[in-house]
Structure 1
Amino acid sequence: MTVAFYSCHTYEQPFLDAANHSHNHQLTFFSQPLTPDTVALAAGQQAICVFVNDPLTRPILQALVGLRIRLIALRCAGYNQVDIPAAHELGIRILRVPAYSPHAVAEHAVALLLALNRKTYLAYQRTKENNFTLDGLMGFDLCGKRVGVVGTGKIGAAFARIMLGFGCHVLAYDNIHSAVLQEIGVTYLPLNEVLANADVLSLHCPLLPDTHHLINASALAAMKPGAYLINTSRGALLDTPAVLRALETGQLGALGVDVYEGEDDFFYADWSDKPLPDANLNALTHLPNVLVTAHQGFFTREAMEQIARVTINNLTCLEQHQIPINEATVVV
């Protein structure tokens, strides 16, 4: 099968080539994202493969159909960027990578929390300038603190286990309660009680209509003053202007994010030589109690190997007319 890979960075290609070794698909790599202007790059291909921020809107899907493309592989788990009803209507199959390494994202959430708490990013900047003072670097013991986990799927569960290992009391909110997590000490509570009691709140839920801006002005007001907020899930879970106001007033003590609602235009690109036109993102990156990373939570060797392996297997599955197990059927 001939496949065009969009938004494909050089660090991905060795993993994809290795996974494809025994499948013999013809892979063409494009660094450009999928946009109305780059759809034409897929001419002559049988399928395309896209990443998390490549929008699959109805117009783009229609353009792909015009190029006789009926298969799209996603190198990611979530597919809120895909117009699923339009894809079904147009006869396009959408396959995804439902899970790769939940530990990768969970551990990155912990890294953000630890860096914010112990101010290691500030200490690093100081010591590079031979400043070895400790003023402003005080943190707190995580042991004994209450950590709220919103969403206890594979990633949220991995994060909860790590926090239990730190000696934290883990409070969770999810529509589905995990008996396994409850057995090891996780306490499920209504969302308002998790917000009110958590010293640290970490988001691990999907982006759905009812979770869009889940953390808004009212949710922030309900949180403990000075609580820390971590988001490694989806940017639109946060109402960013409301979060900025909470940071300015001190209601929110610190923020660590690996995702951003408007990240499509900025993440995975180098903006160091030009002004950042997004005022909210610019504000976040310049606050001393905020740590922003550019959607790198997934970025471990193990996760990249799994993403490449499942992506290539998905392509082979449909090529051989097998029943796909990783087809996107509902928005998650």
Structure 2
Amino acid sequence: MKLAVFSAKPYDKFFLNQPRAAASLEPDTSIEIAYHNFALNDETVSLAAGASAICVFVNDTLSEGVLTSLHSLGVRAILLRCAGYNNVDLEAASRLGLFVANVPSYNPEAVAEFAVALVQTLNRNTHRAYNRVREANFSLDGLLGRTLHGRTVGIIGTGKIGVAFARIMRGFGCELLAYDPFHSDEFKKYGEYTTLEDLLSRADIVSLHCPLIESTRHIINDTTLGQMKKDAMLVNTSRGGLVDTKAVIDALKRKHLGGLALDVYEHERALFYTDHSGTIIDDDVLMRLVTFHNVIVSGHQAFFTEEALLEIADVTLQNLADFVHGRECGNALVQPSQEHGAAPIKRARSDTIPIRI
């Protein structure tokens, strides 16, 4: 079997080639891996020729057209080495009888810890202090922060990452509020559920930990930003499309939003995971965003730990083994059946909260 891996970075190759990851495959499973360092899309889909399965990441395009092309090339399995699947047309995959599986949960603490790091950096201005000291400027003016103890933190989405984030913030002595249509008994150990409007009106810090679906797209917009407390902080480590970037810029310009930390961006596909330091970036919205002193933007790295990458490799290859041997896969989003064709699988809420999204 040949597996074509798209958007492959050096670390993807390293962890997919680890002995522990390879152990996820049965001894009788022979696999040849072809790595492509570019994204999958209409222009690159032909490179999947000869492969029975492909492995993709968050910014690869799996539209109906791409899926149809993959099917015509002989591809029968799509392995997502991530939790989010908003870039996959599952209905089209179902009609084509394609196997689709993701990695629904990997090291939620990695993302939660990164979200906390962004909160602390933004709150205490350590990013600005670092740059000042490098220029021998030890002035404290403009670096005033606030004590986290006793602050109110609003968490939108209480899947595994949201709960891990709540656990850490509770350790700081924060009061925790959450909004999620599906309540988690685990979160209730740390805080209380409320309405979205109430959460936004009370929270000093709002952190997003929900999937990108139609009901959550631009959940942070002109209206919801207006409901937030003046000078509140907003953190997003989930999906860029949760935030209307232009609305956020307007709130920053009006000095209504106190600070913003983004590890994701709604138009990141053409930029993130690639070095653009030698080129001119023509995304005027992003470039305007990074001019604010109270904004931090990182390149979708919250998941990026050794533990998470090894787990992603393990589960991805285990999903492949399930496909090869015709077994039911617990991580399948679409599971083909010889008798009934293929159908998208509806999951419990705990699995739909994106762990790397």
Which TM-score tier does this pair reach, normalised by the shorter chain? over 0.9
Q: Normalising by structure 2, report the TM-score.
A: 0.91
Partner of 2:332, secondary structure, is: coil
- Hey, what does 2:195 align to over in structure 1? 190
- Hey, what does 2:182 align to over in structure 1? 176
Following TM superposition, by how much is the alpha carbon of 1:36 offset from its aligned partner in structure 2, in angstroms? 1.4
- Hey, what does 2:341 align to over in structure 1? none
The one-letter amino acid paired with 1:198 is A
- Hey, what does 1:41 align to over in structure 2? 47
- Hey, what does 1:123 align to over in structure 2? 129
Q: CA RMSD in A?
A: 1.2
Partner of 1:12, secondary structure, is: helix
- Hey, what does 1:10 align to over in structure 2? 10
Following TM superposition, by how much is the alpha carbon of 1:330 offset from its aligned partner in structure 2, in angstroms? 5.7
Following TM superposition, by how much is the alpha carbon of 1:130 offset from its aligned partner in structure 2, in angstroms? 1.2
In 2, Cα distance between the equivalents of 1:66 and 1:20? 28
1:218 aligns with 2:223: yes
- Hey, what does 1:298 align to over in structure 2? 303
Gaps of 5+ in 1: none
The one-letter amino acid paired with 2:147 is D
1:82 aligns with 2:88: yes
Determine if contact 1:47/1:71 at 8 Å carries over to the other structure: yes
Among candidates 64, 75, 79, match of residue 69 of structure 1: 75
In 2, Cα distance between the equivalents of 1:185 and 1:157? 9
In 2, Cα distance between the equivalents of 1:293 and 1:248? 21
Determine if contact 1:146/1:168 at 8 Å carries over to the other structure: yes
The one-letter amino acid paired with 1:287 is F
The one-letter amino acid paired with 1:189 is T
Q: Normalising by structure 1, report the TM-score.
A: 0.97
Determine if contact 1:84/1:330 at 8 Å carries over to the other structure: no
Determine if contact 2:78/2:99 at 8 Å carries over to the other structure: yes
Determine if contact 1:118/1:140 at 8 Å carries over to the other structure: yes
- Hey, what does 2:252 align to over in structure 1? 247
- Hey, what does 1:93 align to over in structure 2? 99
- The CA deviation string for residues 229-284 of structure 1, in whole angstroms up to 9 with x for no partner, is 00001111111110000011111000001111000010011111122111111111
Following TM superposition, by how much is the alpha carbon of 1:91 offset from its aligned partner in structure 2, in angstroms? 1.2
Among candidates 167, 178, 186, match of residue 161 of structure 1: 167
1:203 aligns with 2:205: no
- The CA deviation string for residues 183-209 of structure 1, in whole angstroms up to 9 with x for no partner, is x23011111000000000000011111
Following TM superposition, by how much is the alpha carbon of 1:313 offset from its aligned partner in structure 2, in angstroms? 0.4
Determine if contact 2:8/2:38 at 8 Å carries over to the other structure: yes
1:269 aligns with 2:277: no
Determine if contact 2:179/2:199 at 8 Å carries over to the other structure: yes
- The CA deviation string for residues 37-82 of structure 1, in whole angstroms up to 9 with x for no partner, is 2111111111100001101001111110110111110000010000
Pairing 1:45-60 to 2, within 5 Å after superposition: 45-60=51-66
The one-letter amino acid paired with 1:126 is R
- Hey, what does 1:20 align to over in structure 2? 22
Following TM superposition, by how much is the alpha carbon of 1:286 offset from its aligned partner in structure 2, in angstroms? 2.0
The one-letter amino acid paired with 1:273 is G
In 1, Cα distance between the equivalents of 2:185 and 2:35? 44
Percent identity, aligned pairs only, is 48
Structure with bigger RCO (C-alpha 8 Å, 6+ apart)? 2
Determine if contact 2:148/2:173 at 8 Å carries over to the other structure: yes
Q: How many residues align?
A: 331
In 2, Cα distance between the equivalents of 1:128 and 1:161? 35
In 2, Cα distance between the equivalents of 1:92 and 1:22? 22
In 2, Cα distance between the equivalents of 1:330 and 1:117? 41
